[in-house]
A and B are shown apart, each in its own frame.
Chain A
Amino acid sequence: MAEATVDRDREIMTVNVGPHHPATHGVLRLVVDLEGEMVRELRPVIGYVHTGIEKSCEDKSYWKVIPFVERMDYVSYFFQMEAFCGAVERLIDLEIPLRARYLRTIFLELNRIHSHLVWLGTTALDLGAISMLWYCFRERDKILDLFEMATGQRMHTRYFQVGGVIEDIPVGFEAKCRAFAEEMPIRVGQYQDLLDRNEVFLSRTKGVGIVSRERLLELGVTGPLLRAAGDPWDLRKAFDYLAYPEMDFKIPVGTVGDNYDRYRVRVAEMVESASIVRQCLDALPEGPFIADDRKYVLPPRSELSTSMESLIHHFKLVTEGFRVDPGEVYYSIESPRGELGCFVLADGSAKPARVHFRDPSFVNLQAFREMAVGTYVADMIASLGMLDPILGGVDR
């Protein structure tokens, strides 16, 4: 019979994972060729949450674009705002006040901790450590409380404006934020106590999903994935922006570049971020929190009832928005997932002619095939978690 010649041990079965599956961290579909439990080939299929945000931005005046871009990578919204606002500030050559730089740095680093906490909770959940999720989300909630206190929103805060931030931090924020930044390293120590000597966690992560540093660079991978492979590349150190040149912080790097190193690098980054927040609070300069250029920045609310000129500026900025001379700028920052770049093309009108985001998840996802092929299905899920893609950012 023909069946007798079929080699059952070498049979390849194609399995579809996702797009709606908790372990895919969003709406990601994986077409996986399996030989028994082993992954032999893998093809990620993306685009399920593509909403055309970049196209929609072309129809909005510059200041109305900010809430749109926040919704791309919905876990690191402050970074999207900074990338876009920073690009526009470079286009119009607008210097932001010192206090605004420090405030932005504080919120970016809080957001980095927040993003890593979401990653740690959900990835540990994938590996069977369910209690990590509750511990991580407990601290995440404290960060969201801080965001709510300063901006009025827990997520998608629209706090950064072209020229600075929309409002100064309220009374009591500093003390609350400092208390959090003092507490965070202790909490990180607790997470490490739970995971670092956990036999299941160690055997599931050590030596799994290794991709060499050279290959990662070829694939354009940045962020904690690249640093876990031993390359200390961090845009906060490499390029000057915001208050980072004045901050004293380390870049954690790994040695082998397996999933365990990826975990250790991110956990160490949380401690460094908490230290940056503390340093920013210590050195927080007094002064204005937004630039005083009425051509681009809304006048203070209090002036509207007394100054005709302010009212005109306010009216013009809200109805038409400000115009930007033709030009193009690419501005990139270090997001929790790597290099987040924003390209803005201005054509002289009040709306951008093109807004493009170089999303780190989109580029990093290309390394997933090499991380997962040749490992077990269960390790593929672990590697995906350690890659930490946010599909809202991938699909935009």
Chain B
Amino acid sequence: MPDAPGLELIRGEIERDFPGAVPATSYDRAQAALNVDPARVLDVLRWLKEQPGHRYDFLSSLHAADYLPNEPRFAVHYELINRDRVERIRVKAMLADPGNEELPEIDSCVELFPTADAQEREVFDFFGIVFRGHPNLTRILMPDDYVGWPQRRDFPVGGEPVTFTYSEERYG
């Protein structure tokens, strides 16, 4: 983990190459995170992966979270590791809900990190976040014909109708 000043240094270096790409950082519970502009997320990820002296080149996890009722509502998290220095950093892209049943969009990082393939499909499956440029963005764990985004906070637990109603009909 870079410490809080180290995190600010990284942010400063990225901002020099891509002004405005990292609006904020957070250092909470000893975990360092860069809040990035979702439109520039690929630039930041590529910089972190390829910049000499940094090389956060292993994407250990990609996942999403729904911060309802906060705005912007969604976030895609990228957990990166620098395996030489044994340091972790989190890149967080906050995405607003466009409303009107439209889906939020962000660039896919499959080209940079092939491991993101299945994990981006999982995020799409559960949150309805579209990854632009993903080679095969389909549902992965839910059935192909499923409607809805089950991990969103406004999707109720137990909102799934029961398919097997034999006992219910017979015994009430």
Contacts and interface: CB of A to CB of B under 8 A. Distances in A.
Contact of A353 (B65, B126, B142, B143): B65
Contact of A52 (B57, B119, B143, B150): B150
Interface in B90-141: 90, 113-119, 122, 126, 139-141
A50 B139 CA distance: 12
Residue from A46, A93, A330 with most neighbouring chain B CB atoms (10 Å): A330
A218 B153 contact: no
B169 interface: no
Contacts of B157: 55-56, 58-59
A91 interface: yes
Contacts of A329: 29, 31
Contacts of B145: none
Interface in A360-396: 362-363, 365-366, 395-396
Contacts of B113: 218, 220
Contacts of A52: 150
Interface in A74-133: 90-91, 93
Interface string A205-243: 000000000000111111000000000010000110000
Contacts of B126: 54
Interface in A310-334: 327-330, 332
Contact of A330 (B61, B122, B141, B151): B61
A152 interface: no
Contact of A343 (B63, B66, B142): B63
A20 B17 CA distance: 52
Given A59-B157, A220-B60, A363-B115, A330 B90 contact: yes
A327 B28 CA distance: 8
Contacts of A189: none
A55 B151 contact: yes
B115 A220 contact: yes
A366 B117 contact: yes
B58 A217 contact: yes
A330 B64 CA distance: 12
A343 B61 contact: yes
Given A46-B141, A55-B151, A358-B60, A330 B31 contact: yes
Contacts of A93: 29
A353 B152 CA distance: 10
Question: How many residues of A sit at the interface, in one of the four size bands?
Answer: 35 or more
B86 A238 contact: yes
Nearest to A48: B141
Contacts of B77: 330, 343
B37 interface: no
Contact of A356 (B60, B63, B141, B142): B63
Contacts of B58: 217, 220
Contacts of B117: 366
A341 interface: yes
Nearest to A58: B157
Contacts of A71: none
A17 B141 CA distance: 18
A50 B142 contact: yes
A245 interface: no
B86 A239 contact: yes
A239 B151 CA distance: 30
Given A90-B29, A220-B115, A396 B141 contact: yes
A339 interface: yes
A87 to B, nearest CB: 10
A300 interface: no
A29 interface: no
11 contacts: A47-B142, A50-B141, A59-B157, A220-B59, A220-B60, A221-B115, A330-B88, A341-B79, A358-B60, A362-B119, A363-B115
Interface of B: 28-31, 57-61, 63, 65-67, 77, 79, 83, 86, 88, 90, 113-119, 122, 126, 139-143, 150-151, 153, 155, 157
Given A47-B143, A218-B113, 10 more contacts: A50-B142, A90-B30, A219-B114, A220-B60, A327-B29, A332-B79, A354-B66, A354-B151, A358-B79, A366-B118
